[in-house]
Amino acid sequence: MEFDEDKAQKIIGSSILVGITYFDSSGEFESQTQFYGSVLSVSSEAGILLKLAGKRSGEEYNLPPDTSCIWKAEPGVYMLKSNNEEIEDPNYLCSWEVYRKRKT
């Protein structure tokens, strides 16, 4: 994981669209979820705390303390495949891939 303090400070208060793709222990696709909100706080220890919006309004979500997976979004309307919501002109995009561990 990579944590860039300057980047972390810049994203606080910004809107962000997050996509998380899950894979099983053999690398096969399982599922995908997408959500969006605003960045409440960022810490190299506690991670990136989001206040969610849209269908998940009122929830908070904590991402790992890794700024390398966050990049500036191109202007436009983004459709969330997982629930058909739209978000217009988010400031940032974030993408994660989660692989389940093999059972030993």
**What is the number of structural domains in the chain?**
1
Is the distance from CB of 53 to CB of 37 less than 8 angstroms?
yes
Question: Across 1-104, where does the E strand assignment appear?
Answer: 15-23, 29-43, 47-52, 60-63, 70-72, 77-79, 86-88, 92-99
Q: What is the pTM of this model?
A: 0.90
Residue 79 inside a domain? The answer is yes
Is a pLDDT exceeding 70 seen at residue 104? no
Is residue 8 pLDDT above 80, yes or no?
yes
Name the residue range of residue 77's domain.
5-99
- pLDDT score, position 83: 86
Q: What is the pLDDT of residues 22-81, one digit of tens each?
A: 999 999 999 999 999 999 999 999 999 999 999 999 999 999 999 999 999 999 999 998
CB 60 within 8 A of CB 54: no
The answer to whether residue 20 is domain-embedded is: yes
Residue 104 belongs to some domain of the structure: no
* 48 inside domain: yes
- pLDDT-derived band at 7 (thresholds 50, 70, 90) equals very high
